[in-house]
């Protein structure tokens, strides 16, 4: 029996919408099931030991009524009795609604949350400034470095820059947007990316090999070879 982290709200809904109606739970069945769930599965315990007197006090019922309800839940397969020892201690495994035999499979399937729809993005037509997921993909593509000067940047010191400025009809395309540091974004201004990179080289902020690599990256960017990581792509 799997005891992965439970969604208590979802289990409660399944108990109310599936288990209780299909097994004709009485009020006592609901109360005792909920109380045992609270002290066992919700606490990460697959097996739980208790006495009838302890359970009766907890739910506010008589010991006889509580004992009869526990027996009924065992008979219906809601509780699995592991042991009942001479000290009047019951050891049980409480089954979650979807683990109980007799609960209609079709209704279970209908009650399960629908899987999240797959996100499919037309990368060539997408406006990469429109959504956070698209902006984040551009930052991830650059691997945490400024596209221009190659220094590492934190999320608080980065921005997106148009390689071809909007004033020159540059688009919000993955072919025209790069992740860069705030300093490069400010210094580049309306200059072309190639001119700005050569300026960084003259200022000795880029080496010969780095300048060559950045100019090649500009060509790859325009050719659509620097594709950002996106869900539904690949």
For the chain, domains (ranges, CATH) are 8-111 (1.10.10.10), 132-222 (1.10.30.50)
Query: How many angstroms separate the CA atoms of 160 and 181, rounded?
Result: 8
Q: Determine if the pTM surpasses 0.85.
A: no
Residue the block writes with tokens 């009924």: 72
**Predicted pLDDT of residue 57:** 94
Residue 86 clears pLDDT 80, i.e. is over it: no
Residue 145, CB-side half-sphere exposure with 13 Å CA sphere: 8
CA distance 44 to 27: 25
CA dihedral angle for residue 40, residue 42, residue 43, residue 47, rounded to 10 degrees: 30
pLDDT of residue 102: 75
Q: How do residues 126-136 score in pLDDT, each as one tens digit?
A: 999 999 999 99
Question: What b-and-e string marks burial along 204-226, b requiring 16 or more CB atoms within 10 Å of the CB?
Answer: ebbeeeebeebeebbeebeeeeb
Residue percentage of the chain with pLDDT more than 90: 66
Task: Give pLDDT tens digits for 62-81.
Answer: 999 999 999 999 999 999 99
User: For all residues of the chain together, what is the average pLDDT?
Assistant: 88
Looking at residue 48, what is its pLDDT? 92
């Amino acid at each position: 029996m799997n005891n992965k982290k439970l969604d208590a709200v979802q289990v409660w809904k399944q108990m109310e919408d599936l288990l209780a109606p299909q097994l004709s739970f009485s009020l006592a069945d609901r109360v005792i099931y909920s109380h045992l769930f609270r002290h066992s599965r919700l606490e990460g315990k697959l097996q739980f030991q208790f006495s009838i007197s302890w359970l009766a006090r907890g739910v506010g019922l008589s010991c006889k009524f509580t004992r009869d309800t526990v027996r009924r839940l065992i008979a219906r397969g809601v509780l699995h009795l592991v042991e009942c020892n001479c000290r009047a201690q019951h050891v049980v495994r409480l089954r979650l609604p979807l683990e109980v035999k007799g609960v209609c499979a079709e209704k279970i399937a209908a009650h399960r949350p629908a899987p999240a729809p797959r996100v499919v993005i037309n990368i060539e037509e997408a406006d990469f400034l429109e959504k956070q997921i698209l902006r984040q993909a551009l930052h991830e593509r650059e691997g945490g470095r400024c596209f221009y000067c190659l220094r590492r940047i934190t999320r608080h010191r980065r921005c997106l820059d148009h390689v071809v400025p909007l004033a020159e009809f540059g688009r919000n395309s993955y072919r025209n947007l790069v992740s860069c540091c705030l300093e490069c974004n400010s210094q580049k201004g309306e200059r072309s990316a190639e001119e700005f990179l050569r300026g960084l080289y003259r200022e000795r902020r880029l080496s010969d090999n780095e300048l060559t690599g950045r100019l090649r990256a500009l060509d790859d960017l325009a050719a659509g070879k620097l594709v950002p990581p996106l869900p539904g792509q690949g």
